[in-house]
Amino acid sequence: MDLRQLRGFVAVAGAGTITEAANQLGLAPASTSEQIRRLESSLGVTLFERTPRGMRLTGPGRTLLAEARGLLDHAEAVRLAVTGQRREVRVGALEMLAATRLPGIIRRLAESRPDIDLDVTALSRQLLLAEIARGSLDAGLLLDSGVQIGGLGFVPPPELDFLDVGEVRLVLVAAPTGHADTLLVTEPACSIRMASDRMFGLDVRRRELPGVVTVREWAKQGLGMALLPDFAIAEDLAAGTLIPLEPEAPALALRMVWLNGREEGLRDLLYAMSS
């Protein structure tokens, strides 16, 4: 068992196919397949079930996956310590969180660990979770609710851990001059839309708009009421261009998610996020 075999194994587990994993690694599919075969031979276990839809982890494969990620993270930490190179942590976030919440986290991380570079990518939740599962991102920042990942109403990939690092308060608002009996909402996959659907159900009259900014501007024009995150409407509430309405909405959890077994490599980032 060597690091190249482990990297191939982790790539196949994330990609689901030999071909896709080989593309990620810059290798020929035959080379990646041989790495998996040799790893299985050295361990004496079958790590994947070969199915028409791709490679599916067996029980021993799932056990190895978390350990392999930890070993690879440790090996990378040793390499960086020896070479003196800077470490890069790749984080994905919903665009509105990347704009409003990540700057403070980056500042705290820079103060505590100036040797770490934080690379930030703004993605939809579906793409964010897919990239974490593939190993292309180290962690992601999203909105959720409940005691398990996906409590807001989406289906996460398996083998994710999480830490709640704050909350986002939602406020039902409208223009002070009155508002149409219409709920302005974002697209169905949006976290704020999911929260609106949970709060009001599906029977209320609604108008779907392309994003939080558009919903806010339409609400300011008196075209409906809207459930929006507090950071998106703070200035409007202070200026009186939007006013809060009843009922009070439950807050959403600001949640960091990552693959099982990678806590050690993300310890500094977790500390910066939870500070």
User: 139 has which bridge partners?
Assistant: 91
The pLDDT assigned to 241 comes to 95
Q: How many other CB atoms are found less than 10 A from the CB of residue 194? A: 21
Tell me the pLDDT band of 275, cut-offs 50, 70 and 90.
low
| CA pseudo-torsion sign 17, 19, 25, 30 | positive
Q: Provide the strand spans (E) within 4-115.
A: 48-51, 54-57, 87-93
Q: What is the pLDDT of residue 48?
A: 94
Rg, Å, the chain Cα set:
22
**What does each C-alpha distance from 151 to 93, 146, 181 come to in angstroms?**
18, 5, 29
CA–CA gap between residue 178 and residue 174 (Å, rounded): 7
Instruction: Report the 10 Å Cβ neighbour count for 56.
Output: 13
Alpha helices in 146-275 (DSSP H): 191-200, 212-220, 230-239, 267-274
Model pLDDT, residue 85: 67
Confidence of residue 73 (pLDDT cuts 50, 70, 90): confident
Percentage above 70 pLDDT, the chain: 93
Residue 118: CB atoms within 10 A of its CB come to 19
pLDDT of 84 reads 67
| Helix residue spans in 94-190 (DSSP H) | 95-100, 102-112, 125-134
The dihedral of CA 99, 102, 153, 197: what is its sign? negative
User: Could you tell me the pTM of the whole model?
Assistant: 0.70
DSSP 123-134: --HHHHHHHHHH
Q: What is the per-residue pLDDT across 2-46, written as a single tens digit (0 to 9) for each?
A: 888 998 998 898 888 999 888 888 889 999 999 999 999 999 999
Q: Which long-range contacts (CB under 8 A, 24 or more apart) does 203-212 make?
A: 205/181, 206/182, 207/182, 207/183, 209/184, 209/185, 210/186, 211/186, 211/187, 212/96, 212/186
In whole angstroms, give the CA distance from residue 245 to residue 173: 5
Amino acid 265: pLDDT:
65
* Cα gap 159→252, rounded to integer Å: 22
Strand-strand pairing, 243-244 and 116-122:
unpaired
135 or 160: which leads in pLDDT: 160
Query: pLDDT tens digits, residue range 77-119?
Result: 777 677 766 677 888 888 888 888 778 877 877 777 777 777 8
Give percent of the chain above pLDDT 90. Answer: 43
